[in-house]
Amino acid sequence: MRQVELLIESWPLIEPFVITGYTWMYCDVLVVSITENGVTGRGESTGVYYLDETTESMFQQVVGIRQKLEQGISRKQVQSLLRAGGARNAVDCALWDLEAKISGQSISGLTGIPSSPLNTVNTVTIDTPKQMAKKAAAVSARKIKVKLDSEKPLRRITAVRNARPDADIVVDVNEGWSFGQLVELAPQLKALGIKMIEQPLPRGEDDALEGYKSPIMLCADESCLDTSELAQTAKRYQMVNI
């Protein structure tokens, strides 16, 4: 028999994390721990905020399959018992971690996918142009993601670029623009050397991107939740944020 422990943790952020339509002061996390023969696998998730997931809703989803988890169901079986989202992710990660520890292998070894270096970015969240420039200047990394919304996007990104002329910059709009704003702003962002625009339009309202020739690479996030949406996404975007 396995033992399953569920915890909700809340971690205060050093500063508010601000994106289009949302501000977070805390990071609320569901933590799933699964113990078998003295070995514990651990997974966690913050959930999908734009699908209205909360730590409490995820907690209740896992409670609903807790008995089956304790009886030893597999990762594959979990896929059919929990819908795609934070709860399934936390349980899946915990089971991967448990399997890796019991087998003495890394997850790379278990999957047969070789590990390799990954590029990531430091994020500058929405603030006044002056404060965003200050935040960007304080980042030592050369790769920066800048959050934007529909208010003063050009002023904000220009301030960041002036503060970090050396940086590789991408922007993330989190569904905050109209198609008209994208068409107007994309050439101006290209002139500033911006490398990519992530999720400029709302999920479900981005069909206008089919046939649009963006001067900057476009990346889907909220618009591509799983492989069932990949074919449609490929007609509208050149990248996917997984």
State pLDDT tens for residues 32-70.
999 999 999 999 999 999 999 999 999 999 999 999 999
Determine the topology of domain 3-111 in CATH: Enolase-like; domain 1 (3.30.390)
SS (H, E, C) the chain: CCEEEEEEEEEEEEEEEEECCEEEEEEEEEEEEEEECCEEEEEEECCCHHHCCCHHHHHHHHHHCHHHHHHCCCHHHHHHHCCCCHHHHHHHHHHHHHHHHHHCCCHHHHHCCCCCCCCCCEEECCCCHHHHHHHHHHCCCCEEEEECCCCCHHHHHHHHHHHCCCCEEEEECCCCCCHHHHHHHHHHHHHCCCCEEECCCCCCCCHHHCCCCCCCEEEECCCCCCHHHHHHHHCCCCEECC
For position 58, what pLDDT does the model report? 98
Give Cβ neighbours of residue 104 (< 8 Å, ≥ 6 apart): none
Average pLDDT over residues 122-127: 97
How much is the pLDDT for 1? 87
- Give the alpha-carbon dihedral of 18, 21, 26, 28, to 10 degrees: -130
d(CA 160, CA 130): 8
C-alpha dihedral (106, 112, 117, 118), degrees to nearest 10? -100
Q: Is the pLDDT of residue 118 over 90?
A: no
Residue 238 has pLDDT above 90, yes or no: yes
- pTM for the whole structure: 0.89
For 166-214, write each residue's pLDDT tens digit.
999 999 999 999 999 999 999 999 999 999 999 999 999 999 999 999 9
Q: In the prediction, which pLDDT does 121 show?
A: 94
| Domain ranges (residues) in the chain | 3-111, 122-240
**Residue type at 53?**
E
What's the confidence (pLDDT) of residue 43?
98
pLDDT in tens, 69-114: 999 999 999 999 999 999 999 999 999 999 999 999 999 999 999 9
For the cut 90, the answer to whether the pLDDT of residue 242 exceeds it is no
Cβ partners under 8 Å of residue 136, min gap 6: 124, 144, 146, 160, 163, 164, 167
How high is the mean pLDDT of the chain? Answer: 96
How far is the C-alpha of 53 from the C-alpha of 7, rounded, in Å? 16
The class of domain 122-240 in CATH terms is alpha beta
What's the confidence (pLDDT) of residue 83? 93
